[in-house]
Amino acid sequence: MQQITIITPDDWHLHFRDGDLLGETVPATARCFARAIVMPNLVPPVINAKLAMEYKTRILKARPQGSHFEPLMTLYLTNQTTKQDIIDAKNSGVIAAKLYPAGATTNSAQAVSGIEALYPVFEEMQIQGLLLLVHGEVTESHVDIFDREKIFIDQYMAKIVQAFPELKVVFEHITTSDAADFVLNSASNVGATITPQHLLLNRNDLLVGGIQPHNYCLPVLKRSSHQQALRKVVAGGSNKFFLGTDSAPHAKHAKENACGCAGCYSAWSALELYAQVFDELGALDKLEGFTSFHGADFYGLPRNTTTLTLRKQSWTVPEFVTLPNGDAMVPFFAGKTVDWKLV
């Protein structure tokens, strides 16, 4: 197949950041996605409806002229989040709340410690129909970083899903066969997003031949067997799995640093890279479901009606992107060839 036309997709997990960065990140996403779930881990974080709506206004101002791109806003859960915060968020149009275990990723220091203490909040989310988005890793320093997702499932995720059977839960950016199996074996209220980097790379791409800082993300890349498990589930076409790029911008100097930032900025190539993966797997017929249907259906939102076309045509991801403040940023797959291109 040399060309494929699909319903315009959505990105069910990304980071826009804020300020002048929006002038880069919003157009990059709006070029091919109709909607996107916007992560709330700003500084300070988006902890209530008022902050969420103010952030949405800033994102809308950064849309390209004529674009109908729609940001879907989320709340950042803390140990101070109340039931009233959830009610207010629902009434304002926020559609989900994000659970970050404290210290799990960028700007998560103010997140949750003692997850069981949030059960009353989860109960209110279940009542209000607000989705729970979970960064599923434990953060205790003694736990091996490659085991943190599996241990989170055993210690927390399985218990949350059992305690709140009507709460829709998205296991974000899964990285292991354990997480894939957990989602497959759970009820229909549990889904998962999968990133392009976790389908394309494994920990060799992070560590072999020297540290590759631009492939460093959290959750960290896992061994090849886990990568192959993720590729298998997307090729299988299960409606429990859907597109979530976790695109996360960081300046080059912040990544190439003694304590480099975690995150891959994939907005300019993610859709094309997903197409490349599905092509490699002989599963292009499953691409549209993963990119355009499963997420919308899981969130209970209407599917998009417009279309876009991808053509099998090689191109090279730029070595860097210049940010509005003049800093350079290295995009995901920089300098590498992609086999599919947005028409």
Delimit the domains of the chain by residue range. 3-342
pLDDT value, residue 146: 97
> pTM score, two decimals?
0.96
CB 34 within 8 A of CB 40: no
pLDDT value, residue 134: 98
pLDDT value, residue 290: 99
pLDDT value, residue 102: 76
Q: Is 117 annotated as a binding residue?
A: no
Say yes or no: domain 3-342 is CATH 3.10.450.50. Answer: no
Q: Is 328 annotated as a binding residue?
A: no
Cis before 27? omega within 30:
no
| List 11, 154, 246, 279, catalytic entry | 246
pLDDT value, residue 24: 97
Q: Is 198 annotated as a binding residue?
A: no
Strands laid side by side in the 337-342 sheet:
3-7, 307-316, 337-342
pLDDT value, residue 101: 85
Q: Is 214 annotated as a binding residue?
A: no
Q: Is 294 annotated as a binding residue?
A: no
CB 47 within 8 A of CB 85: yes
Helix, strand, coil shares, percent, the chain, to 5: 40, 20, 45
Can 147 be counted among the known catalytic residues? no
pLDDT along the chain (343 residues), means of 10: 97 98 98 98 96 98 97 96 97 97 65 83 98 95 96 96 98 98 98 98 97 97 98 98 98 95 97 98 98 98 98 97 95 98 97
